[in-house]
Amino acid sequence: MTTTAAPQPRHDDLAERYAAVRALTCEWAAPLSDADATGQSMEDASPAKWHLAHTTWFFETFVLRDHAPGYALHDERFPFLFNSYYEAEGARHARARRGMITRPTLDEVLAYRAAVDAALLAALPDLPNAARDLVALGCHHEEQHQELLVTDILHLFSQNPLEPALFAAPAKVPVAVPPPMGWIGHPGGLVEIGRAGDGFAFDCEGPRHQALLHPHAIADRTVTNGEWAAFIADGGYADPRHWLSDGWAWAQAANIAAPLYWHKRDDREVWTRFGLDGRREIDPAAPVTHISFYEADAYASWAGARLPTEAEWEYAARGADPAGGNQMVGAGPVEPRPSTDGGWFGDVWEWTGSAYRPYPGFRAAEGAVGEYNGKFMSGQFVLKGGSCATPRGHARASYRNFFYPHQRWQFTGVRLAKDI
């Protein structure tokens, strides 16, 4: 995980950014009990307490330990508990057993955060530029964990038969179902994609390079809940013609018949969904979410379309405001919502048909931080655009999110494309 060359931020600006990012993570954790923060609902998810501690370990390890003379670790046992997958940092607790870390308590983890925050802000004025770059990197890293924190809490609460809500449901403002999907055509040709210019970017977003687009059209909005319900009603989950072989095997083995968190209760014909505001009826006008790559691809086949390539999506979104749309602002309600502007950013991450592989000329950085992106470029697919749980300002057109094709606990949706 590295950055492109960028002007060094002033001390005050970097300190303010650091403090704001760290505070938002704690805001999300504030309603949680110690039990809420300790539970782990599946191997893909991590306890809230672990997210709080791991992001702190990142700053303590790569900034304070390595660049602040005389700094002593807050607790020498914590690196084993809160390292994620950095082989260069040595042995670590197994990911699948993070929910077994009942101690330290949530209060002790919050005290760990406070101690590291105080030490880092005190050291910041004297840190070398390389360490300041790591502070900036750590802020972007923590924003990624803020999104994971929210979606992991959602998955954890969904496993509780009581289906608890994290916050009250916002007042629903009725929005008309959007008009039929429109299409944005492109004649094809050579285009440039990838991060360019000053500013932060993860290493996997570059180098900037040429990509060949074939004549195609891309949808002017994402697929809605109402459209997905029609796919279900037409037997989309039961028709192998629309499914990739791996996807069909996955759906059959796991008895997949609807998006994650969808359910019909008490023999009613109305689909409901579970969210951080509890269980409610689906909004047919809102973007469908919590679908896997396999489901997205099957829907596209059913609809007579396909998934866009990463290059098609990025080029189409090149002029859009990456800070626009429905994205996370503070620790408030997060949920995809109906949109009338067909924006490219926010609401749901959009699956592409492109494998997450290195761009031409990509080289992973030296050292432990170089392990962040490059070693995961196998077996995963790229998603674009950010979601309602992505902190506003974190995403951009070149941003490459990536997940395995069966994963769907994130706010993942789909925008269609087709050849012309």
pLDDT in tens, 352-404: 999 999 999 999 888 788 877 889 999 999 999 999 999 999 999 999 999 99
> Residue 374: exposed, middle, or buried by beta-carbon count in 10 A (0-12, 13-18, 19+)?
middle
141 pLDDT above the threshold of 60: yes
266 pLDDT above the threshold of 80: no
Output the pTM of the full model.
0.95
CA distance 358 to 370: 13
Q: Tell me the percentage of the chain whose pLDDT exceeds 70.
A: 96
CB 389 within 8 A of CB 345: no
Spell out the residues 6+ positions from residue 333 whose beta carbon is closer than 8 angstroms to its own.
Answer: 167, 169, 170, 276, 277
Q: How far is CA 416 from the centre of its chain?
A: 20
Task: Compute the average pLDDT of residues 77-81.
Answer: 98
Does residue 323 sit in helix, strand or coil? coil
Mean pLDDT, the chain, rounded, equals 94
CB 30 within 8 A of CB 167: no
pLDDT in tens, 326-348: 999 999 899 999 876 668 999 99
Domain 183-419 class in CATH: alpha beta
**Which residue type occupies 234?**
D
CA distance 20 to 8: 18
